[in-house]
Each structure stands twice: as C-alpha cells, then as structure tokens.
C-alpha cells in the first residue's frame, strides 16, 4: 500500500473503528483475497475479541496487504452495505488527490503573458490576496494570518467521553440525561465535518488511555482536534487549569493532566493546530443564587425535581487527591482552548429529560451561528444564554490559549 493510502486509513481510523461492522466483512475479504483464513482468525482474536478491537486490528493489518488493498476494501464495504464508510474513504481520497493537483500549478506560457523572474524551472507560489475588510471594517474570516485554516474534510477528530453509570463504591449517582447531550454533540460535530468517536462509562485510567491513544494518532493531515468530557467533576489543586473529572470508578483526572497529553511534546502532529476541550462537569459544590439586576431577560425554566448537578465534594482523602497530576506544568500551552460548563467551585446543572444547560446551549449556538462567527464569539453567546437561567445560576467560561480566530467548517 502506498503512503497516501496509509495516511488516508489513519485519518479515518477513528470513524472506521467506531462504525465498522466487521462480522459482515469476513467472507468478502476472503473472496477478494485481501486476507487468508488464518489472518482473519488472528484479527478475530485481537485484544478482547470485541468488535472495536477487531476493527482496529483489521485497519492496521490492511496497510500491509498490497497496492490494491484500499480500493478492494472499499468494494468490500459496498458489498456489505456499509456505504457511508465506503463513501468516506472514496471521497477523502479524491479530495486529497485534488489538493495535490492544486499544489502544483503549471506556468502560464501563453503569448503576451510575462514569465516570472528567474529561471524557466523556477516554481511559482500562489500569491495571497490581501484580506478584504467587511462593511464593519473588520477583516474577513478568510484572512489566514488571523484565522486557523480548517480546509480538509474531515477537518479533525472529535472524541466524546460520556460517563453515565458509576460504580456503587464511587458514591456517584447516574448522570441521567447525559445520553441526550451525547447524541446532540455527535450530530453537531459531524455537521461541522469532524470524525466523531464516543467512549462510554470509562474509569479514570481508561479515560487517560483513551486520551493517550488519541494523541498518538497521526493528525498531520488534519486541521483540528476536539475533546468533549461529560462526567461528574470536582475542584482540584492546580497550577494552570482548574478542575478534575471523575471516571466511573470514582477516581479523578485533572483537566490539567488531560490537556498536557496533547501538548507539543506528546502530540507533535497537532503542533500549531487548535486543540479544543469542552468540559460538562461541576467545578465544585457551590450553588449560585445570583444577584438582582434592574432588568433581565431570563428564561422561565426553573430547576425542579428533574434537575441535577454534576458536583461531588473536593477530594481530600488518600488515593483520591488530584494534586500530584495537577502539579505537572504545560510546557507548550499555545493553540489550546478549554471551555468549562461552570465557574470553578460551582455546580453545573443537568436536566434529566433535556440534558445539561451548557451542552444544550452550546449545540444550539453552534447550529445557528457557526457558519458566520468565530469560536470565541460563539462561546460568549453560550455564556450569556446559560447565565440567564432562573433560580440557581451557572456561568460558563474558558481558558483561551489560541493564537488566532477559529471558524468551524460548515
């Protein structure tokens, strides 16, 4: 398999592992000679023998199966009714070839057209047009000097950790309504041209492993990376980024540690690219009753019996303190944005029948405004809308280390 096909498989690996129905593929793979029976049996016994483990091993082994492996694999997908994945691979491959063709532009040697200065073999670079001001005087979103470029499709990977059910020993209640958040987020980020993978009910160690595996992937052909965490949370000792989230075993992982996994030292293929973290979890146990203002346009929805918080006490006992991890520093904090559902120390509200205030509002704002506004402006809209809920208050916020504006691909 040539390098371009290998890179294509690696870019699509998250989506393939998440959705590939391997049981339907074995006969097709055999009949087309892509794998022998012994090879297929080895794949079936990979890891724990789960569907995702088999899918992951299949994609890895596919890279060793010759120059026609990718088109034959796409045909197998079509034969087994997995047309969405077949289209993903086919269209992504065509898009990459188109970008390669556009990268090399022939010289225009028509009569009357002046040649560029230098030798006849000198390569031309595409001249960048100056940014055009909008009617309001601001630079347009196409100005690449002020905006991150999200051109490829898919533009990046999006990992969602959805912790709903916690062990009895953890003392943490089920997060009813979180699946609603998760479904909304999947639809939303897929519409923004991300490949979305969801992991359910992970322990603290499994969460860290999922982040490490994501950071180890080759993101060189992608433009962005998104991590969303839906879980219980708490306060945590920290030097730079506050808060921690809980695994289903009741052990916590600091936000600071999670973000550090994706820095330049651990994930060089994301260097210079935006890395976005959205945290739906409590930052503590305080409930904010708010304060009176002269006038407000608050929503009338009131927290009732179907409203819960994602808060648990600050961990203080041995074995649960987050302090050792939180003391690790961030050597390369650029190109990172961490969006919190609530102010550090305060609870984050979630409704059992509608999902959390923060995720519901975030998805709504992205759907309405992502086509025209940058991420910071979108998050201001989210913060303003969530802050106006009634009785108890909630104030989302973010730690922004982005160097440029970010406009999602819509």
User: What are the catalytic residues?
Assistant: 232, 282
**What DSSP letter does each residue of 220-234 carry, written as one string?**
TT-SEEEEEEES-EE
Question: Which tokens in the block code for residue 38?
Answer: 């012994």
Which are the contacts of 221, defined by CB distance < 8 A and separation ≥ 6?
Answer: 7, 11, 96, 152
**What DSSP letter does each residue of 234-300 carry, written as one string?**
E----SSS--EEE-TTS-EEEHHHHHHTTSTTT-GGGTTS-EEEEEES-S-SB-B-----S------
Question: Which tokens in the block code for residue 221?
Answer: 């052909």
Percentages of the chain per state (helix, strand, coil), in multiples of 5? 35, 15, 50
Residue of 376, 381, 346, 345 lying closest to 361 (CA atoms): 381
What are the phi and psi torsion angles at 121 (to 5°)?
-95, 0
For 390, which DSSP code? S
Which are the contacts of 118, defined by CB distance < 8 A and separation ≥ 6?
Answer: none
Bridge-based pairing of strands 224-230 and 275-280 is parallel
Helix (DSSP H) and strand (DSSP E) numbers for the chain: 13, 12
For Cα atoms 184, 195, 252, give the angle at the middle one, nearest 5 degrees. Answer: 70
Measured CA to CA, the distance from residue 235 to residue 287 in angstroms comes to 14
> Can you name the residues that pair with 275 across neighbouring β-strands?
225, 336
Question: Which tokens in the block code for residue 95?
Answer: 């898009």
End-to-end CA distance of the chain: 32
What are the phi and psi torsion angles at 358 (to 5°)?
-65, -50
> Would the CA dihedral through 294, 295, 298, 304 be positive or negative?
positive
């Amino acid at each position: 398999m040539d390098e371009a096909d290998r890179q294509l498989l690696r870019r699509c690996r998250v989506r393939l592992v998440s959705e590939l129905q391997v049981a339907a593929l074995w006969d097709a793979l055999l009949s087309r000679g892509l794998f022998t029976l012994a090879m297929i049996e080895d794949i079936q016994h990979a890891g724990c023998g789960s569907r995702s483990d088999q899918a992951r091993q299949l994609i890895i082994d596919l890279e060793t199966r010759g120059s026609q492996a990718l088109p034959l694999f796409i045909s197998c997908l079509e034969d087994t009714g997995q047309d969405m994945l077949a289209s993903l691979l086919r269209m992504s491959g065509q898009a990459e070839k188109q970008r390669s063709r556009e990268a090399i532009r022939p010289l225009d040697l028509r009569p009357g057209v002046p040649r560029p200065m230098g030798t006849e073999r000198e390569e031309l670079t595409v001249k960048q047009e100056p940014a055009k001001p909008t009617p309001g005087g601001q630079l347009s979103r196409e100005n690449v000097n002020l905006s991150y470029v999200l051109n490829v499709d898919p533009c990046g990977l999006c990992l969602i950790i959805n912790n709903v059910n916690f062990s009895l020993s953890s003392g943490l209640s089920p997060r009813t309504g979180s699946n609603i958040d998760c479904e909304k987020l999947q639809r939303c980020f897929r519409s923004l041209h991300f490949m979305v993978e969801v992991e359910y009910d992970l322990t603290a160690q499994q969460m860290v492993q999922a982040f490490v595996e994501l950071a180890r992937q080759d993101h060189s052909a992608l433009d962005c990376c998104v991590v969303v965490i839906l879980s219980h949370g708490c306060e945590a000792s920290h030097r730079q980024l506050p808060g921690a989230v809980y695994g289903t075993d009741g052990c916590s992982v600091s936000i600071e540690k999670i973000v550090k996994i994706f820095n330049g030292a651990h994930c060089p293929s994301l260097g210079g690219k935006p890395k976005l973290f959205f945290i739906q979890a409590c930052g503590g146990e305080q409930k904010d009753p708010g304060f009176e203002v002269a006038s407000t346009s608050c929503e009338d929805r009131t927290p009732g019996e179907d409203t819960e918080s994602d808060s648990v006490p600050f961990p203080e006992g041995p074995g649960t303190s987050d302090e050792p991890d939180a003391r690790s520093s961030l050597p390369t904090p650029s190109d990172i944005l961490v969006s919190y559902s609530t102010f550090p120390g305060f609870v984050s509200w979630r409704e059992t029948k509608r999902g959390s205030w923060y995720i519901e509002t975030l998805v709504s704002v992205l759907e309405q405004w992502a086509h025209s506004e940058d991420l910071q402006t979108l998050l201001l809209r989210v913060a303003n809308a969530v802050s106006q809920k009634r009785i108890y208050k909630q104030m989302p916020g973010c730690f922004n280390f982005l160097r440029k504006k970010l406009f999602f691909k819509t």
